[in-house]
Amino acid sequence: MALQTSRTGAPHTRAQRRRNGSRRMVEVVGSGLLAATLLIWGLPLVAGADWSDIGEVLERLTLAQLVGLAAVWQLGLWVHTIALAAAMPGLSHPRAYFLNITGSAVSNVLPLGGAAGTALNYSTSRAWGFSTPAFLRWALVTNIWDTLGKLVIPGFALLWLAVDQTRSPAILVSAALGSVALLGVLVLLTWLAVHYDFIARWAGHATDWAVSHLRLPGLRRRRAGGRPRVSGGYAVQAVEFRRDSAALIGAAWWPLTVGKAGYAACQALLLWLCLRALGSEVSPAVAFAAFAAERVLSMAVITPGAAGVVEVGMTGMLVAFGVAPATAAAGVLLYRAFVVGMEIPTGGGAMAWWLLRRRARRVPVSRG
């Protein structure tokens, strides 16, 4: 009887997988078309410059300038490893660089690719011998610092603009204060979640209720197939995870802050240098404001790497602050070519090299 059920259920499962695969393919193609539309038609429209004008600006680049910009881009990635290595004790800086570049490569290829990048990082860290809780704490802590940074940077950019620009400083200061207030609320919630058990316990009880009352077959099978790892359900596990994460943050908050801040500074510097290399006399404050806009717009991952959305938004801001239209568009494209475009072949090549090394190590062992 069980065999008959599985045989009749297997085609249904295969059909469901085919439907999910088709739906995923439609999402990928649709997001790619949206990104292409925004870049091909939206960018020149917002900039007020033709593609021929943008191309003429990009032709001004020399090989020495490209090498220097690539060095700044790589410096930012290595500075970022200070934070990534601190969030997972035992993780070396080269391996932190590897996790960052390979995860970003996957995230930049797919719409909503952050989950795929996280899954790749998880499998890689497990292959290196790190436990699942260690990786989950790493992902949680680094994402908390990323979110805090995306609120700090716009507030600081607005205050800098208020000092640098003469136009509407009161509006800029008000917006900056609003961003700082929002940051304060988020910091307070983060502090409560780190220092007290009630938020983690509430989340664990909510998970227990969802497992009991909702259709979550994967979690139900885990509970039905064996004993729970910790008595008391997910609430107890959530509290233990909270305490371990709090201990990690208490020990690593300084390198986390230095690494994330240094990474953001290198990326902002890269944007300013891209614009300067193309002949723009843009001030550092305006370039930093455009970088802050990129940090916020990058959360709109409806396209791979938020392509199209970020370029249009950054270009519009630079043009509004007086940067030449063609130069603004060309500078944004050059900057994004490094922070998004170059991560794909670099991360893909690093992953291919790592897989080939693992395979080469396994073959002699299996033959022996």
Enumerate residues 6+ apart whose C-beta is below 8 A from 270.
69, 72, 73, 76, 335, 338, 339
Q: What percent of the chain has pLDDT over 70?
A: 69
Statement: residue 197 has pLDDT above 80? no
The per-residue pLDDT for range 325-346, each reduced to its tens digit, is 999 999 999 999 999 999 999 9
Cα 199 to Cα 249: distance, rounded to the nearest angstrom: 17
Give the closest residue to 94 by CA, choosing from 78, 70, 72, 71.
78
The per-residue pLDDT for range 297-313, each reduced to its tens digit, is 888 777 887 888 899 99
* Residues 230 and 237 sit within 8 Å (Cβ to Cβ): yes
This prediction has a pTM of 0.79
Cα 118 to Cα 77: distance, rounded to the nearest angstrom: 17
Statement: residue 63 has pLDDT above 80? yes
* Residues 330 and 342 sit within 8 Å (Cβ to Cβ): no
What kind and span of H or E run contains 195?
A: helix 169-195
pLDDT score of 107: 87
The one-letter amino acid at 99: L
The per-residue pLDDT for range 93-129, each reduced to its tens digit, is 999 999 999 999 988 887 666 788 899 999 999 999 9
